[in-house]
A and B are shown apart, each in its own frame.
Chain A
């Protein structure tokens, strides 16, 4: 049996890499993919804790997280398409209308 701490460490590393991707990447689609990576890392922690404490609620929560992530991906990618159409670019630095 793998100790739960290993899963949590892996989850933390994946979340950290997601944050790094979110900060570093300039392409709006890759930034969105980094968010998905962070969601996946959180899911792993949920399932690991659910297993550790013998509670199914963690897995139910993961189910809802996946559903919401799917809905988020649909709306987010539609927004990205509109931004790309209006700005003619996928670089986030070109989306600076609200920046002073």
Chain B
């Protein structure tokens, strides 16, 4: 087994365990920390895939900014242990079969597409490898995708204003 495979399995298991921890934890803070684990594991997987820039913003934006915001709100609202109600017990009996059905359905769809995909991959590989460097990515981002890129700044501005207006205490 190569080093890449070992890293993949280590991070894959870490990510899945983190996701299970998110679901099983009763305390919201524990859920948030499990989600941070998932995000760090995914960042390592992005590095393994050669997407250094994506790995960097995964750590900076997701594990850094977004999760800190989550933990900040959890602390601010003093979120305690989740309560179990009749409806959440019902969700267990309906939800587990539905989750299994969903996973089986996705596995079926993926295995069915696999033949077509490998044929396409063979065609793509023949075109020659394109380096997924940060330089190539930024070239594309600032030429071909420059309008969406600039629009995201307006989106973030609107999001900040929206958050401010919503969270403001009404007089």
Interface residues of A (CB under 8 A from B): 1-2, 4-10, 12-21, 23-27, 29-30, 32-34, 36-37, 40, 43-44, 47-48, 50-57, 59-60, 62-64, 66-75, 77-82, 84, 90-91, 93
Contacts and interface: CB of A to CB of B under 8 A. Distances in A.
B163 interface: yes
A17 to B, nearest CB: 4
Interface in B57-99: 57-58, 61-62, 65-66, 69-70, 73-74, 76-77, 79, 82-85, 87-88, 91-92, 95, 98-99
B5 to A, nearest CB: 6
Nearest to B165: A78
A17 B66 CA distance: 20
Interface of B: 2, 4-5, 8, 12, 15-16, 19-20, 22-23, 28, 31-32, 35, 38-39, 42, 45-46, 48-51, 53-54, 57-58, 61-62, 65-66, 69-70, 73-74, 76-77, 79, 82-85, 87-88, 91-92, 95, 98-99, 102-103, 106-107, 110, 114, 120-121, 124-125, 127-130, 132, 136-137, 140-141, 145, 148, 152, 155-156, 158-160, 162-164, 166-167
A40 B42 contact: yes
Contact of A44 (B42, B65, B92): B42
Contact of B132 (A40, A43, A50): A50
A82 B167 contact: yes
Nearest to A77: B73
B22 A21 contact: yes
Question: A interface, by DSSP: helix, strand, loop or mixed?
Answer: helix
Given A56-B137, A66-B61, A6 B12 contact: yes
A20 B66 contact: no
A91 B79 CA distance: 10
